[in-house]
Structure 1
């Protein structure tokens, strides 16, 4: 939930997915990776080769001193965020490791995650990268993945929006040969681009329309709705969004906070969460309709015409919110005055790693 992401619980997640042939002992294992600002997802074959396993956890790290040995211990993911909320480090808040220190923390996190889940070393690794004009950050991310013990046979990166789009198409990897538009709605960036046989055209990226900004608005609107009686942090705001935002059937919800000096205060949220999400959709539609599509038409008119005849894929954590794809479809259709179809993967929060795994599986076959 990437983003902020919805449809989540606060524990590390392992899921079963598509069936794959059972590998031999020396077979190269395909691994898909998405190191996200909020959550990291890894997809790889199960030990028996009959299924794939999905590991999904918060991208964060905490350290503590072992009281018996005095040694430094490491926690990552939900355990770290729950037990050490005061010191936990989310090292990819901007979407990339910005400096040497955050890259080192990300490498430690990634190493611990891989070791805990026995991700095979003899692997072909494909990892999803954001479309961000930040060469230093991308180089740091590359060092984190390529410096790990996995990917001994191959390590390659592909755009997150491309990886996340593949699971939304029936022919999966075959969609790389098509022309289509993607809207990647993540925690730290909104990315829009067209693909022509895998080539990225007129990529647009903005850090002003994000899942994190929705969280900030939720926190502000809750304070306004409760006449200043309730102040929530951004983590709680994200939880409200992920658990309650619903463009199809939102229902007001009640929560309780402890008041300074004792006692508690019960309050009901009727519109704060959906007001923030509604504004987000308007901004996404405006960016697509009035910034990205005119640029695409100006640079590649034929691609523009062909792309709008195909479904537009929404990916990223914000795409998990129930009904958001249909809402974007309705508003974009109205804005463009032509029929637009919006599709998404069943689990947009997992899609980038799943798509990366599909590519890795294809590349591994050629090794």
Structure 2
């Protein structure tokens, strides 16, 4: 397993209570938010993927999870939640094995209170499959609860504690498999919206195509490499072209420069996200709940999810959304938008215990 840097947050004082755990079992990354040894909190992130291979000595099939699987087996690695939820029995089995490996690697106690984030997707069977994976695991004996991902992610965006639960606001989750938007009134969902056409996964595909076009067909990268370009190189305002090297099929190597191959897909994503929020979600919210709509736009809009981690994206989204709506709109994001859902879920778990 490959962990992100640990981040301290709230205190955990009652060591006799069940361990409060926040979980985001995501399409690209899975995040656990746990108490640390210093009475604080830490978050662990790993890629939600696995690869199977044959043991060179015994011939038995073995599985490799997370970052190592993506790096060592980029052509065969399986992201078992590509659509955001386990779709079938095979996906459920993969997700169960993966989640058990993750909680075991981080010594999550069985006597824990687990709160997990659920994406806003119109897929009742998939949601039930996710519920089966989490609630059927070896953790969460004290309690298991689920809350909307866009709510969990917005909680850290509005500061410490659970202040967001008592407010009226709009949250936009810029995830890998969906763009979600929802208004909340004291925790109640109003006009939940999601689309699979504006996603981080789409940006990865656009980068693959754009790099091939930029190199005049000489370079073809896989989606794992495209995701790495996006996460490690993309920057809305201060992007710098970079070079990479690929091996030629007939031998030797080819060095190439990436410029518009990353910039154009990110720019396109921001435009599409603004269009979806301004011209699809917000009109529906205004039509269904005019007063909460007015109240929500008077407060900052919370933006979370992996795409919000790209430097400058939140600021540019605010700028373009304000122009599209012809009014000043403030947009805020948590310190780490990619792990915010697990952090918010953990704060709810702390309240429950």
Q: Is the 8 A contact 2:74 2:224 kept in 1?
A: no
Which residue does the alignment assign to 2:12?
Answer: 21
Which residue does the alignment assign to 1:276?
Answer: 265
Query: SS in structure 1 opposite 2:339?
Result: helix
Verify: 1:193 aligned to 2:182, yes or no. Answer: yes
Which residue does the alignment assign to 1:12?
Answer: 3
Verify: 1:167 aligned to 2:165, yes or no. Answer: no
Q: Which of 128, 132, 140 is equivalent to 1:139?
A: 128
Structure 1 spans left out of the alignment, 5+ residues: 1-9
Larger CA deviation: 105-114 vs 67-76:
67-76
Query: SS in structure 2 opposite 1:15?
Result: coil
Name the structure, 1 or 2, with higher relative contact order (CA <8 Å, separation 6+): 1
Hey, what's the Cα distance between the residues in 2 that align with 1:83 and 1:223? 23
Query: SS in structure 2 opposite 1:92?
Result: coil
Deviation at 1:117, TM superposition (A): 1.0
Alpha-carbon spacing, 1:66–1:262, altered in 2? closer, same or farther (3 Å) = closer
Verify: 1:44 aligned to 2:34, yes or no. Answer: yes
Query: SS in structure 2 opposite 1:97?
Result: coil
Deviation at 1:111, TM superposition (A): 0.6
Deviation at 1:285, TM superposition (A): 0.6
Aligned positions of 1:296-315 closer than 5 A: 296-315=285-304
Q: Which of 105, 110, 118 is equivalent to 1:116?
A: 105
Verify: 1:258 aligned to 2:250, yes or no. Answer: no
Hey, what's the Cα distance between the residues in 2 that align with 1:322 and 1:241? 11
Hey, what's the Cα distance between the residues in 2 that align with 1:136 and 1:62? 25
Q: Is the 8 A contact 2:117 2:342 kept in 1?
A: yes
Larger CA deviation: 219-228 vs 77-86:
77-86
Q: Is the 8 A contact 1:12 1:77 kept in 2?
A: no
Hey, what's the Cα distance between the residues in 1 that align with 2:55 and 2:264? 46
Deviation at 1:67, TM superposition (A): 4.7
Deviation at 1:310, TM superposition (A): 0.3
Which residue does the alignment assign to 1:329?
Answer: 318
Q: Is the 8 A contact 1:31 1:356 kept in 2?
A: yes
Alpha-carbon spacing, 1:74–1:234, altered in 2? closer, same or farther (3 Å) = closer
Q: Is the 8 A contact 1:329 1:342 kept in 2?
A: yes
Structure 2 spans left out of the alignment, 5+ residues: none
The list of structure 1 runs, each at least 4 consecutive aligned residues, that deviate by more than 6 angstroms after superposition, is: none
Deviation at 1:71, TM superposition (A): 5.1
Deviation at 1:135, TM superposition (A): 0.6
Which residue does the alignment assign to 2:232?
Answer: 243
Which residue does the alignment assign to 2:22?
Answer: 32
Hey, what's the Cα distance between the residues in 2 that align with 1:35 and 1:41? 7
Q: TM-score, normalised by structure 1?
A: 0.93
Hey, what's the Cα distance between the residues in 2 that align with 1:122 and 1:83? 35
Q: Which of 117, 129, 141 is equivalent to 1:152?
A: 141
Hey, what's the Cα distance between the residues in 1 that align with 2:4 and 2:296? 35
Query: SS in structure 2 opposite 1:119?
Result: coil
Deviation at 1:70, TM superposition (A): 5.6
Q: Is the 8 A contact 1:23 1:49 kept in 2?
A: no
Aligned positions of 1:170-185 closer than 5 A: 170-185=159-174
Query: SS in structure 2 opposite 1:332?
Result: helix
